[in-house]
């Protein structure tokens, strides 16, 4: 079953999911589509996010993908159920895997969530957690500064620490009760080190990117969709925005840990606009 896995995101954040898919499922071929031109999705009304997401899904279906990963929290919150019902290939989002990993991790039954304003406002993580475990204690915090900070390439250093410390201050008073924090945005794994430093090592950080890659593996097994051939190194990346900017950000996200970036094709996506 050597068809590719399709990954969509509103922009570049979903590349952290791609990074984990490459690491945890090195035999799989990936096609990534980032809707950078219309990013961010967070502040957009639901019908717009639904419509944009379907355009990306249609693009991927033409590439004959065997499975779709919605590597965007906002798109997951608004479209996961509909996509799962209407497509005849498996679809996974980024919210449920993170929620499940947090339930496994927490011994104190108290989980924190950080995300964009849109994700926190949607209550999607709280609903996913409490649907499975009604009595779980949850504290959610919107971190509007984190995505712009990451997109400016500020991932470490004093400036990053000051922003993270100020943003996360409301969570610090729960440090004794809360033992697990979900990084509920695919940008946040890029500043995981700073977040861990600010909160201390007694709090387990759950990366929705890592967890989504892991559940992708489970789903491939259940549906017997694993690529049983050789390791795959030719992935395809598409952007709806400027090629140069996307290429630069991609290189900076993957840093030196993806050796084969030169074999990645980055093309302009032509998607059917409403």
Q: Residues in the site for a second copy, rule: CB under 8 A?
A: 20, 24-27, 90, 96-97, 100-101, 103-104, 131-135, 210-211, 213-215, 217-219, 221-222, 226, 231
Closest approach, Cβ 89 to a second copy, in A, equals 13
Interatomic CA distance for residues 5 and 91, integer angstroms: 10
Query: Residues 6 or more apart from 104 whose CB is under 8 A from it?
Result: none
What is the closest distance, in whole angstroms, from the C-beta atom of residue 29 to a second copy in the complex? 15
Instruction: Rank residues 260 and 268 by Cβ distance to a second copy and give the closer one.
Output: 260
- The answer to whether 238 and 63 have CB atoms below 8 angstroms apart is no
For the chain, give the number of residues: 274
Flag whether 257 is marked binding: no
Which residues lie across from 5 on neighbouring strands?
Answer: 30, 67
Packed helices 95-105 and 208-222: angle between N→C axes, nearest 10 degrees: 100
42 annotated ligand binder: yes
For the CB of residue 221, give the shortest distance to a second copy in the complex, in Å.
6
Helix axes 95-105, 73-86, angle to 10 degrees: 110
Cβ atoms of 48 and 69 within 8 Å: the answer is: no
Residue 235 labelled as part of a binding site: no
**Cβ 228 to a second copy shortest distance, Å:** 8
Quick one: 51 or 105, whose CB is closer to a second copy? 105
| Cβ atoms of 11 and 250 closer than 8 Å | no
Check whether 186 is labelled as a binding-site residue: yes
Active site residue 39: no
In the complex, what is the shortest distance from the CB of residue 134 to a second copy, in angstroms, rounded to a whole number? 6
2 marked among binding-site residues = no
Q: Which residue's CB is nearer to a second copy, number 37 or number 196?
A: 196
Among 262, 248, 246, smallest CA distance to 32 is for 246
**Do the Cβ atoms of 202 and 179 come closer than 8 Å?**
yes
Contact in structure between 185 and 115 (CB atoms under 8 Å): yes
- Cβ-based nearer residue to a second copy, 60 or 128: 128
* The pair of three-digit structure tokens given for residue 174, joined into one six-digit string: 């729960």
9 is in an annotated binding site: yes
Q: Is 134 annotated as a binding residue?
A: no
CA 72 to chain centre: 5
143 is catalytic: no
Out of 39, 72, 143, 272, the active site residue is 72
Which residue, 24 or 236, has its beta carbon nearer to a second copy?
A: 24
- Tell me how far apart the alpha carbons of residues 111 and 105 are, in angstroms, rounded to a whole number: 9
3 state DSSP class of 169: helix
Catalytic (active-site) positions: 72, 185
Annotated binding site for substrate: 9-10, 41-42, 73-74, 186-187
């Amino acid at each position: 079953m050597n068809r590719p896995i399709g990954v969509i995101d509103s922009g570049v954040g979903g590349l952290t999911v791609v990074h984990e898919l490459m690491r945890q499922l090195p035999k799989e071929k990936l096609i990534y589509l980032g809707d950078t031109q219309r990013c961010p999705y967070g502040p957009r009304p639901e019908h717009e996010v639904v419509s944009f997401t379907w355009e990306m899904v249609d693009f991927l279906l033409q590439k004959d993908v065997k499975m779709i990963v919605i590597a965007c929290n906002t798109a997951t919150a608004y479209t996961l159920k509909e996509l799962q019902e209407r497509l005849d290939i498996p679809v996974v989002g980024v919210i449920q895997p993170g929620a499940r990993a947090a339930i496994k991790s927490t011994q104190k039954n108290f989980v924190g969530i950080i995300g964009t304003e849109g994700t926190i406002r949607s209550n999607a993580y709280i609903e996913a957690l409490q649907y499975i475990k009604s009595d779980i204690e949850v504290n959610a915090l919107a971190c509007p500064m984190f995505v712009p900070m990451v997109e400016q390439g500020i991932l470490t250093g004093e400036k990053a620490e000051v922003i993270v410390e100020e943003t996360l201050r409301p969570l610090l008073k729960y440090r004794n009760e809360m033992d697990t924090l979900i990084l509920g945005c695919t940008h946040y794994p890029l500043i995981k080190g700073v977040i861990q430093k600010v909160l201390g090592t007694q709090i387990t950080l759950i990366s929705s990117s890592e967890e989504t890659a892991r559940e992708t593996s489970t789903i491939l097994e259940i549906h017997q969709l694993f690529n049983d051939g050789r390791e795959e190194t030719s992935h395809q990346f598409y952007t709806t925005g400027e090629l140069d900017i996307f290429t630069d950000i991609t290189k900076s996200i993957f840093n030196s840990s993806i050796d084969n970036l030169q074999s990645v094709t980055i093309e302009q996506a032509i998607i059917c606009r409403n």
